[in-house]
C-alpha cells in the first residue's frame, strides 16, 4: 500500500481523497504521536481555498479529542506558520493547504516545534496510529484540549519579513506582486508596504475557488504584462501558500528558481555569507545554473527532488542557500523552510547591493532547453522495476550521448510520473521526453 504521506504532507482531492474523516484521524494520530509527557500545544493554519475551513475544523477536533491544546491562526502562509510555531514556543504546527495545486485539492502538513517539516519516521508513526484508533486516548472533562483563536499572531510574521533587510533597503522600489488569490493576499502587500515599496497588487481577492487559477507562480504571464505596463523595477509571484516565488525583471522576462538562486549566491558570495561556497539544488536544477555558479567559484550540490531533501543536505553539511527551479528557495540562515515572500525580499535587496537590474542578473544563467512532461500513472510505484521503462530510458540516454540529462521520477504529491529531458536543442529534448512518456504511459498508466 502506498505511503499516505508524500514529499509534502498528505494531499488529495478534497472531500473525496482527503476527507474530513481522514483529517480528524490525522489530528488524533498527530496529537498522540507528538505527546511527549505533557499536554501538546499545536498551532493550526490554513490557506483560503473553500475546503480548508472544513478540513481545518476536523483536524482541530481530532487534536483536541486526544488532549492537545490548539491555537487557530486562520489564513496564513505555510512558511508563516513554520515561523510562528517557533515564535510561540508551541509543540508543533499543522497547515491545511495544497500549495500550488488547483482549488479542488487540499493537503495537511505538519511542522515540528523547531519549524521543520516532520521527519519521515514521525510521519510513519502518525500514519501507523491511524490504523490503531482503539489505542488512542479519549480524555474527558479537563483532559480535553482547549481551542482558542489567535489570528493576531500572524502580525509577528509580517514583522519578521519586514525586518529581514536593513531599513530603507527597498525604499522607493516600484514593484508588482501576484498573490495567487492565496494565503499571501493580505500578508505580502502589508510586508512590502512596510518596506517602503511603491506597490501594485494582483490577484489578492480569494473567493475559495480562484486560488492559483491562471495566476501566481505557475502563471506569471499577467504579472509580466503588469510590470511592463507599470514600468516597474520588478515583479514577484507566489503560489497558494506562498512557499514559492517566481520573479519578473523590469523587461517582463521571467526568472525561475534557478536564476533566483544564482542572484542570491552572487550576493552572498560577495558578502562572505555562503558557507562552503556551495548552493544546494536538485536533479531538476538546470545545467545552466551549475555553470553560472561555477563561474563564480561556487559548487552546486544536487539532491533528490523535494525541498525536504534540499534542507536535509543543507543541515547535514552546514550550507545556507538551496532550492528548486519551481521557486522554492530555502534561506537557512533566516528561516527553516522555503518562503516565497522572504525570497522575494532578499532577491530585490541582493539586486540593489549588486548594483544591476534583474534583467542583467538573470541572464547570467544560460539555461539549457528543458522539457518536462507529467504522465498520469496510477501504478507509478512500479517505475523503478519495469523492464520496458528501463530499456526506453537507456535508449534515450544513449541518444543524448552525454549532451544532456534525463530525470524520471514518480511525483510525491500527484498520481503522475514526471519525465524531464535536458538537451542542447529543445526539439531534441522534446522528442526524447515524448518517446519516454509514451512508454511510461503504456506500462504504468492503464492500471
Check whether residue 149 and residue 167 sit in a common domain: no
* 174 noted as active-site residue: no
Check whether residue 36 and residue 145 sit in a common domain: yes
> Which residue among 65, 99, 217, 285 is the active-site one?
99
pLDDT tens profile 212-250: 999 999 999 999 999 999 999 999 999 999 999 999 999
Domain boundary, last residue among 154, 188, 213: 154
Q: How far is CA 390 from CA 14, 397, 408, 441, 446, in A?
A: 35, 11, 10, 13, 18
Question: Considering the domain boundaries, does residue 350 fall inside one?
Answer: yes
Check whether residue 148 and residue 258 sit in a common domain: no
Check whether residue 301 and residue 402 sit in a common domain: no
Question: Considering the domain boundaries, does residue 3 fall inside one?
Answer: no
Tell which residue, 111, 106, 115, has the closest CA to residue 47.
106
Residue pair 177/197 in contact by the 8 Å Cβ criterion: no
Check whether residue 348 and residue 418 sit in a common domain: no
Look-up of cell digits 483536541: 64
Q: How confident is the model at residue 38 (pLDDT cuts 50, 70, 90)?
A: confident
Q: Would the pLDDT of 412 be above 80? A: no
Residue pair 383/410 in contact by the 8 Å Cβ criterion: yes
Q: Would the pLDDT of 197 be above 70? A: yes
Q: Which domain does 247 fall in, by range?
A: 163-362
CATH number, domain containing residue 309: 3.40.120.10
Listed in order, strand segments (DSSP E) in 92-183 are: 92-96, 105-112, 147-149, 174-178
DSSP count for the chain of H helices, then E strands: 14, 18
pTM of the shown model: 0.90
Residue pair 254/247 in contact by the 8 Å Cβ criterion: yes
The more confidently predicted of residues 220 and 446 is: 220
C-alpha cell at 101: 495545486
Which residues are 183's β-sheet partners?
Answer: none
Lowest pLDDT segment from 122-136, 173-187, 398-412: 398-412
**Measured between alpha carbons, how far is 415 from 305 in angstroms, rounded to an integer?**
16
Q: Would the pLDDT of 447 be above 70? A: no
Overall domain count for the chain: 3
Q: How far is CA 438 from CA 278, 369, 397, 435, in A?
A: 37, 20, 16, 5
Amino acid at each position: 500500500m502506498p505511503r499516505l504521506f508524500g514529499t509534502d504532507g498528505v494531499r488529495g482531492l478534497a472531500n473525496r481523497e482527503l476527507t474530513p474523516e481522514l483529517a480528524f484521524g490525522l489530528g488524533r494520530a498527530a496529537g498522540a504521536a507528538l505527546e511527549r509527557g505533557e499536554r501538546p500545544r499545536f498551532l493550526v493554519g490554513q490557506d483560503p481555498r473553500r475546503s480548508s475551513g472544513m478540513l481545518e475544523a476536523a483536524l482541530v477536533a481530532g487534536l483536541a479529542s486526544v488532549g492537545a491544546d490548539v491555537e487557530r491562526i486562520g489564513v496564513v502562509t505555510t512558511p508563516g506558520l513554520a515561523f510562528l510555531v517557533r515564535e510561540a514556543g508551541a509543540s508543533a504546527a499543522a497547515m491545511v493547504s495544497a500549495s500550488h495545486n488547483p482549488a479542488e485539492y487540499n493537503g495537511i502538513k505538519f511542522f515540528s516545534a523547531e519549524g521543520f517539516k516532520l521527519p519521515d519516521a514521525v510521519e510513519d508513526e502518525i500514519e501507523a496510529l491511524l490504523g490503531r484508533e482503539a489505542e488512542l486516548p479519549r480524555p474527558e472533562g479537563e483532559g480535553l484540549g482547549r481551542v482558542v483563536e489567535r489570528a493576531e499572531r500572524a502580525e509577528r510574521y509580517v514583522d519578521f519579513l519586514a525586518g529581514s533587510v536593513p531599513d530603507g533597503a527597498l525604499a522607493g522600489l516600484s514593484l508588482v506582486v501576484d498573490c495567487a488569490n492565496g494565503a499571501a493576499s493580505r500578508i505580502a502587500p502589508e510586508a512590502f508596504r512596510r518596506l517602503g515599496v511603491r506597490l501594485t497588487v494582483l490577484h489578492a481577492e480569494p473567493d475559495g475557488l480562484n486560488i492559483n487559477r491562471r495566476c501566481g507562480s505557475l502563471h506569471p504571464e499577467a504579472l509580466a504584462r503588469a510590470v511592463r505596463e507599470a514600468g516597474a523595477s520588478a515583479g514577484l509571484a507566489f503560489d497558494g501558500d506562498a512557499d514559492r516565488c517566481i520573479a519578473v525583471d523590469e523587461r517582463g522576462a521571467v526568472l525561475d528558481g534557478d536564476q533566483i538562486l544564482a542572484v542570491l549566491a552572487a550576493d552572498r558570495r560577495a558578502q562572505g555569507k555562503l558557507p562552503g561556497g556551495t548552493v544546494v539544488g536538485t536533479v531538476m536544477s538546470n545545467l545552466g545554473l551549475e555553470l553560472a555558479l561555477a563561474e563564480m567559484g561556487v559548487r552546486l550540490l544536487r539532491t533528490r527532488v523535494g525541498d525536504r531533501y534540499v534542507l536535509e543536505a543543507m543541515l547535514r553539511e552546514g550550507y545556507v542557500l538551496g532550492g528548486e527551479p519551481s521557486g522554492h528557495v530555502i534561506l537557512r540562515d533566516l528561516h527553516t523552510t522555503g518562503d516565497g515572500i522572504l525570497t522575494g525580499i532578499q532577491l530585490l535587496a541582493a539586486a540593489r547591493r549588486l548594483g544591476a537590474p534583474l534583467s542583467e542578473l538573470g541572464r547570467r544563467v544560460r539555461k539549457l532547453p528543458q522539457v518536462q512532461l507529467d504522465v498520469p500513472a496510477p501504478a507509478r510505484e512500479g517505475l523503478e522495476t519495469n523492464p520496458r521503462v528501463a530499456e526506453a530510458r537507456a535508449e534515450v540516454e544513449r541518444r543524448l550521448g552525454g549532451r544532456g540529462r534525463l530525470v524520471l521520477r514518480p511525483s510525491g504529491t500527484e498520481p503522475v510520473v514526471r519525465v524531464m529531458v535536458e538537451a542542447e536543442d529543445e526539439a531534441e529534448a522534446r522528442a526524447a521526453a515524448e518517446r519516454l512518456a509514451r512508454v511510461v504511459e503504456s506500462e504504468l498508466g492503464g492500471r
